[in-house]
Amino acid sequence: MMRLPTKKIALLAMFAALSLGIYALESAVPNPVPIPGIKLGLANIITLAVLKKYGFRDAALVLLVRILLSALLFGSLMSLMYSAAGGALCLVGEYIINRLLSGKALVITGIFGAILHNAGQILVAFILTSVPGVLVYVPYLLVAAVLTGLFTSLAAHFTLKLLTKLPAD
Amino acid sequence: MSDNMPDKENRDNKPNKQLLTRIIVLNIIIAVIFSGSLAAIILSRPGSGSSISGGYTATVYQNGRVISVIELSAAEDSSFTVRTEQGGTNTITVKDGDICVSEASCPDKLCVKEGWGTKSPVPIVCLPNRLVIVISDNTAHGGEYDALTY
């Protein structure tokens, strides 16, 4: 088992709660886009901010808690598989891109994260239904990912700028 | 801005050119994905002159198998329920040459929210019940696969 200082546990729990709250709020607002599966993905703001500030392990913990709790509270086994596939691909991709860019240009990292998230979801949908027709969703999801990724990563950037009193480690 | 992060990456002090190249390459990849997808969407649209359409065919899949093919323009208004082995249900309604999922047992009901099939550019999907309704335009040749050719 990894050891986390109490302060860090509290901090990560706060981020997990924050991202769960954002997720719940976003689910409560009716989706203006007529295509199911397309949404802003505001909870990713937190994942991205934690990834940049504290690294992969901490972001993965926050993401794991958020996905498990949101599936327990609002979802089903299906939505769990769905968001786990998207979330895992997204986080790994963001980690790699963030490393490549040495933590700079968070917007690019966020856009790739969103693209991978949506790619993971459509992959699960394709595997579950095995109907090639669902791949018609792909271009819609990719266009949406670029726009939503831009938005959430800008939000993460400004979140980090505002949270100046966060412990450095 | 001073980012006071614990800078593990700062050991290579000549990363600027390399970093710039990476940023440019990644931006190009994003631009290609974005414009390619946009082009695919525009090209796969049923076309604005849809009033001269020869009607639509709906193919209903469950677990990847075709369970029903409905010629929408010729179909009578009707309603039927598809059941899964796990006890999930989707009620499919055919009305006025269009098709929708009117009731579903799943929690999120995305398939119901998607509304009428011919109005939507993408198939109606109910993932929990593994149900897909693909609408194809009879006038277009293989309209449902157009988006895959890019």
A86-108, pLDDT tens digit by residue? Answer: 999 999 999 999 999 998 999 99
Pick A150 or A4 by higher pLDDT: A150
The pair phi, psi for residue A125, each rounded to 5°, is: -60, -40
Strands B124-126 vs B98-104: parallel, antiparallel or unpaired: unpaired
The fold of B50-148 is: mini-chromosome maintenance (MCM) complex, domain 2 (2.60.320)
| Confidence band for A119, pLDDT divided at 50, 70 and 90 | very high
User: Sorting pLDDT into bands at 50, 70 and 90, what band is A36?
Assistant: confident
A168 CB within 8 Å of a chain B CB: yes
Kindly state whether B38 is in contact with chain A, defined as any CB-CB distance less than 8 angstroms: yes
Per 3-state DSSP, what percentage of chain B is helix, strand, and coil (rounded to 5)?
35, 30, 40
Q: What percent of chain B has pLDDT over 70?
A: 76
Contacts of B6 in chain A (CB under 8 A): 168-169
Taking 90 as the threshold, does the pLDDT of residue A147 lie above it? Answer: yes
The whole-angstrom separation of Cα A127 and Cα A140 is 19
Position B144 confidence tier, pLDDT thresholds 50, 70, 90: very low
Pairwise pLDDT comparison (B134 vs B106), residue with the higher score: B134
Residues of chain A with Cβ-Cβ distance to B121 below 8 Å are 35, 136, 140
Q: How confident is the model at residue A166 (pLDDT cuts 50, 70, 90)?
A: confident
Q: How far is B52 from chain A (nearest CA, A)?
A: 23
| pLDDT given for residue B136 in this prediction | 84
Classify domain A6-162 at the CATH class level: mainly alpha
Interface test with A, best of B12, B24, B25, B33 (most A CBs within 10 A): B33
Interhelix angle A77-100/B15-44, nearest 10 degrees: 140
Q: Which region among A128-142, B15-29, B127-141 has the lowest average model confidence (pLDDT)?
A: B127-141
Taking the alpha carbons of B74, B78, B84, B85 in that order, is the dihedral positive or negative? negative
- Confidence band of A145 (pLDDT split at 50, 70, 90): very high
User: DSSP letter at B139?
Assistant: S
d(CA B30, CA A17): 31
Alpha-carbon distance A130 to B99, whole Å? 21
Closest of A41, A88, A78 to residue B125, by C-alpha: A78
Give the E-state strand segments of chain B in sequence order: 56-62, 65-71, 78-83, 89-95, 98-104, 124-126, 131-137
Q: Is A105 on the interface with B (CB under 8 A)?
A: yes
| B80-129 pLDDT tens trace | 999 888 888 999 999 888 899 999 888 778 888 888 888 888 889 888 88
Chain A residues close to B128, C-beta within 8 Å: 76, 78
Residues whose CB falls within 8 Å of the CB of residue B104, separated by 6 or more in sequence, listed in order: B88, B89, B90, B91, B111, B112, B126, B129
pLDDT digits (tens, 9 = 90+) for B8-59: 445 555 668 899 999 999 999 999 999 999 999 888 775 544 445 567 889 9
**SS3 of B71, please?**
strand
The shortest C-alpha distance from B8 to chain A (Å) reads: 9
DSSP state of B87: S
Yes or no, beta carbons of B128 and A129 under 8 Å apart = no
Tokens 């719940």 appear where? A24
Q: Is the pLDDT of residue B137 over 70?
A: yes
